Amino acid sequence: MEKNFNWDAVGFFENLTAENRLAQKEQFTFCRVSGLDGFEEMLDNMQSSTAFVAVSDIAQGFTELNNTPRTRRVKTVFFAMRHKIDDMTARQECMEIMRELFRQFMSRLILERTRLEQNCIYLDPRISFNEIDRYFFSGCACCYFQVAVDVFTDLRLNSEEWNQ
């Protein structure tokens, strides 16, 4: 048995961004970020892009010690769209586009979920979608969702990993 299985969430959402017609029409740029404080790649692209899908390369989670040990990792995906500052109509239009993009991404995630379960990787069926109610960046509407993934973790003691 393989020691641990993993899911490349960053690669999955990068591919969705490249393949999705709405994301392409609205010119969403894919970026990797490191949580809320690490948006360097997105900020670097702000001059040339107005819409972003950003996946955090860090994960929150825990390991559960039971008969079928597993590790839960929670990945965060951000959507952001720039609009004219103080234009609430434009902001609302951005939010509607991002809500629809979320729906379309979820339609593909359902298929991915089935594929992952064949490798003992389980997506939590409840995926939270949160809209940030103030400007994320000046003139930028933003929302995010989180995907929790449970993966088998081999916790059998291996004496070759230890001295003595």
Task: Write down the pLDDT at residue 39.
Answer: 60
Asked whether residue 110 is assigned to any structural domain, the reply reads: yes
29-43 pLDDT, tens digit per residue, is 998 887 655 566 566
b/e for 5-21, b at 16 or more Cβ within 10 A? bebebeebbbebbeebe
Backbone angles phi, psi at 62, to 5 degrees: -160, 165
Number of domains composing the chain: 1
Residues 61, 51: Cα–Cα separation, whole Å? 28
- 85: in domain: yes
Is position 122 within any domain?
Answer: yes
Tell me, yes or no, if the pTM score tops 0.95. no
- The pLDDT assigned to 1 comes to 41
Pick out the chain residues at pLDDT < 50.
1-4
Joined tokens for residue 146: 């989180």
Distance CA 152, CA 29 (A): 32
Is 134 inside any structural domain? yes
Q: Is 32 among the domain residues? A: yes
Q: Does residue 101 lie within any of the structural domains? A: yes
Classify residue 4: in a domain, yes or no.
Answer: no
CA distance 128 to 46: 26
Range of the domain at 91: 9-161
Q: Is residue 2 part of a domain?
A: no
